Amino acid sequence: MQLSFFFPGQGSQTVGMGKVWYETHVSVQQRFATADRILKEEFGFKEALSTLCFNGPDEILQETRVCQPALFVLGYAVAEHLKNSETFKKHTVVCATGLSLGLLTALAVADVWDFETSLRVVATRGRLMQEACKPQPTGMTALIGGTTEAIEQLCREFDLDVCNRNCPGQTVVGGVCENLKALQSVAKERGFKLAVPLKVAGAYHSRWMQPAREAFEVFLKGIPFSAPALPVVSDTTGEILSDPDGIREELGRQLTSTVQFEKCLRKCGTLGFDLGLECGPGNVIAGLAKRTDGNLKIQSAAEPKDLETLEN
């Protein structure tokens, strides 16, 4: 069987994530132990990442500087376990990708960096994005339904950016919070089924992340990149990332560019995988895939029991 790895982005985190994986797999325990040490020593975490993942409190786990490393460590550890298991003597991984932060997890699993370097990259990204949210209150709203023309008109009228094109009928816009509230008051009369505020601290993948992008690009200049060991699909262009310098540029550009995840999913579908594994909490990507193309089969790997069929 041909498999593909998918890694979720910010918003998928939930208290208790990864606890069963941690309790049942030594390799997962080891990755969390390393992350706990690095984040405490180098990034000033007062509580262990593992504690925040398994026990909360929720308000701290939701912080951008915390949830991005949390999602990365769990996704990486699950994929690493699968790659080293007997399962992969029977199956082949043909590609990997992720949604926003998840793209960095995909690159790490493809050996662009080692685990510790990857964690430092992710933790720095999360910290810079959180800092970029401080100057003014910004956020994101998911629009369900509506036309491309209607979305563009709303963005012009309320000074918003398109942050994510996730799947047919689901677009995320971002901007100043008061403008998003005004948008929500008129969305239904403009032809949208729903306008759902997202639980995020800022307008990610928009012009409001420019300070984070600039600082992140400077940081990445000092990080060595290797060519991916398997095809990794960009979530902003839908193209395969292969050149180390191009990947470095992509990671800076991603912070202020629209995530084209529908395009990314369709590209993955051309690479011939039979089953995708969503390595991390929840099943957001599986849901987006179902609404994008009914032939794309992606299942959650949030818990070890989710993979019993695959491993038999």
Catalytic residue IDs: 100, 205
Alpha-carbon distance of 65 to 70, in angstroms, equals: 9
Q: Which two tokens stand for residue 184?
A: 């929500």
Please state, as a whole number, how many other Cβ atoms lie within 10 Å of the Cβ of residue 35: 27
Do the Cβ atoms of 303 and 81 come closer than 8 Å? no
The one-character DSSP state at 206 is S
Distance from the first to the final alpha carbon of the chain: 13
DSSP structure string for 225-292: ----SS-EE-TTT-SEE--HHHHHHHHHHHTTS-B-HHHHHHHHHTTT-SEEEE-SSS-HHHHHHHHH
As to burial, measured by CB atoms within 10 angstroms (0-12 exposed, 13-18 middle, 19+ buried), residue 70 is buried
Phi-psi group of 93: left, alpha or beta (phi > 0 → left; psi -120 to 50 → alpha; rest → beta): beta
Contact 143, 187 (CB under 8 A): yes
Could you identify the residue written with the tokens 């500087």? 65
